Amino acid sequence: MTEKVRVRFAPSPTGHLHIGGARTALFNYLYARHNNGTFILRIEDTDRSRSTDAYIEAIIEGMKWLGLDCDEGPFRQTDRFDVYRNYVDRLVKEGRAYYCYCSSEELEERRKLALATGKMPKYDGRCRNLKEPVPGEIPAVRFKMPLEGQTLVDDLIRGTVVFENKQLDDLIILRSDGTPTYNFTVVVDDVDMKITHVIRGDDHLNNTPKQIHIYKALGYSIPKFAHLPMILGSDKTRLSKRHGATSVMAYYEMGYLPDALVNYLVRLGWSYGDQEVFSREELIKYFSFENVGKAAAVFNPEKLLWLNSQYIIHAPSEKLAELVMPFLVREKIVNEGQDLDKEWLCKAIDTLKERSKTLPELASSLRYYIAEEVEYDEKAKGKFLNEKSRDLLVALKEDLASISEFSHQELEKVFKAILERHSVKLKDLAQPVRVAMTGGTESPGIFEVLEIVGKEKALKRIEKAIRTIG
């Protein structure tokens, strides 16, 4: 029987959930779901000076928004210091780790000297064979790395990567202030949490041989590793704020759909033939490391925007109605708690889906459906609300007042009759009406707009346009 898959996302809460972290979380999540495994969230907050509760909340909020639900956790490393210390004691007792009394000043001096003389700045092993403790000094604990030979990392994405052991430092696993360090806690936790696959960014590849030796020293089997390719900006440097928003929740603010962002994130490294748009179910079904590339992925905000527009086009209007609500409130188009007729709102959204790339764009178009009055764009007003259109608008007002059903069909009839009577083209009437209805010159088809605006408001708006012309 094969072992049940257990994976973890292990962020350090020193910032918001960003694009890179979210991609790591997503690949873990998909691998777990694909294999009916367990997805664990572990907060690596041992660096107390940089970790905050607010960032922990922000990371959890980001994952929740993306729908990356974990099955266990969140665990916090700061709750587990006793566990780490027990493992440290065990390694010291077994001679796999040792007390180190070198002060940080001494270490810094030696490091500088090594650099100046062209040597590798690595701990020189001075305390490795100390027989007696130094009285009155609180030591750090270092792990004994092998001094020669090679360590092979078998990576599911990178293949076999070879490291020379003489490059590996006798790393500190417990600082003199009693706090354990990353490479050690990560191994202890991965062992305790029975992690089968370590899936993380490839900035951790160089840590992996060190961790492998710690597994071996503790006598535990080594999990499988999958190091995900880097994410670069358009200029091929590591993705950073210079390339645009990198925090996941910034994409919420900008009106992206979580599924669109998930779809975009998965393509940062993973592919499945030429397919670009995937449902969550498809992602879970198709995900495997075989289709994760080694090459760095380039973050392309335009493509993300395109994907978002695709998700808006294909989302059910009921869902968009829910998603757009906070933006309608934010843009002060509706008041908090204000009730809009659901069916009507969905119809309105139907007319705008194809024209909105983000939720704020959708909200801002909905403004002319929802608002009591529209404000004219000055240019549009100047161009279309003038003497020429006055008579047409007057005629339309009268004819519209007389129809009982404000349907596409009826509206079209009314328009046709006016066009014939006045010998003008559709656009001669439609554009002034569009300005009257929306304030601008771009909108869905004019009959659709009138239908959504409804008879009462439409007539008021035409009247106002006529008054504006004077």
Footprint of ligand GLU (CB under 6 A): 10-12, 44, 186, 200, 204
DSSP state of 267: T
- What per-residue string of b and e applies to 337-353 under the rule 16 or more CB within 10 Å gives b? eeebeeeebbebbebbb
Of 166, 241, 342, 416, which residue is the catalytic one? 241
Query: Are 440 and 404 within 8 A, CB to CB?
Result: no
The CB density around residue 457, as the number of other CB atoms within 10 Å, is 18
The nearer residue to ligand GLU, 211 or 356, going by C-beta atoms, is 211
Query: Nearest distance from residue 28's CB to ligand GLU, in Å?
Result: 9
Nearer to ligand GLU, 12 or 300 (CB): 12
Question: Dihedral of CA 319/322/323/324: which sign?
Answer: positive
Helix axes 359-370, 317-330, angle to 10 degrees: 80
Q: Rank residues 33 and 227 by Cβ distance to ligand GLU and give the closer one.
A: 227
Cβ at position 108, least distance to ligand GLU in Å: 25
In sequence order, what are the residues at sequence separation of 6 or more whose Cβ sits closer than 8 angstroms to the Cβ of residue 285? Answer: 34
Residue 31 belongs to what H/E stretch?
helix 19-34
Determine the 3-state secondary structure of 75 from DSSP.
strand
Least distance to ligand GLU from the beta carbon of 381, Å? 55
Nearer to ligand GLU, 297 or 430 (CB): 297
Task: Output DSSP code: residue 372.
Answer: S
User: What is the Cα–Cα distance from 208 to 372, expressed in whole angstroms?
Assistant: 63
Cis amide leading into 74 (omega within 30) = yes
Residue 17 burial (C-beta neighbours within 10 Å; 0-12, 13-18, 19+): buried
Least distance to ligand GLU, CB of residue 61, Å: 17
Rounded Cα–Cα distance for residues 141 and 200 (Å): 27
Q: How far is the CB of 27 from ligand GLU (least distance, A)?
A: 11
Residues in the chain: 470
Output the smallest distance, CB 143 to ligand GLU, in A: 16
Based on CB atoms, which residue is closest to ligand GLU, 59 or 315?
59
Tell how strand 6-9 and strand 38-43 pair up.
Answer: parallel
Compare residues 232 and 260 and give the one whose CB is closer to ligand GLU: 232
Strand order in the sheet with 97-100: 97-100, 140-143, 172-174
* Smallest distance from ligand GLU to CB 40, Å: 11
Cα separation, 225 vs 29, in Å, equals 15
By beta-carbon proximity to ligand GLU, the closer residue of 17 and 363 is 17
**Where are the extended beta strands (E) located within 182-268?**
197-201, 224-228, 231-232
12 versus 310: smaller Cβ distance to ligand GLU? 12
- Cβ atoms 213, 187 nearer than 8 A: no
Closest CA to 233 of 152, 154, 296, 149: 296
277 neighbors 307 (Cβ within 8 angstroms): yes
Tell me the β-bridge partners of 98.
142
Q: How far is the CB of 323 from ligand GLU (least distance, A)?
A: 30
Is 342 a residue of the active site?
A: no
Active site residues: 241
